[in-house]
Amino acid sequence: MESSRKFFPAIVILLLVVIASEVAPAQARECETASNKFSGMCMIDANCDHLCKTEGFLSGTCRGFRRRCMCTTSC
């Protein structure tokens, strides 16, 4: 009886890990690269997003101190 009480917390933690891995879907990694066609400072995210989509990327956003248009795609 005493030995089963020692293993109970370990079994509960193991079950929680298994359930959490089943519930959380695997997400695809996203890679980010600078736009080839965007010139100048990126100020409006919608413009960057539209240009990145015309280049074949999933989306785009203005990032960084230099305000570059960065396009995202799945790796």
Q: pTM for the full model? A: 0.61
* Residue 33 CB neighbours (<10 A): 13
Helix (H) or strand (E) holding 54: helix 45-54
Residue 62 CA, chain-centre distance (Å), reads 17
Token pair of 62 as six digits:
């203005």
Q: List pLDDT tens digits, range 12-71.
A: 566 555 455 555 566 778 899 999 999 999 999 999 999 999 999 999 999 999 999 999
Separation CA 20–CA 12 (nearest Å):
12
Domains, the chain, in order of start with CATH, read 2-74 (3.30.30.10)
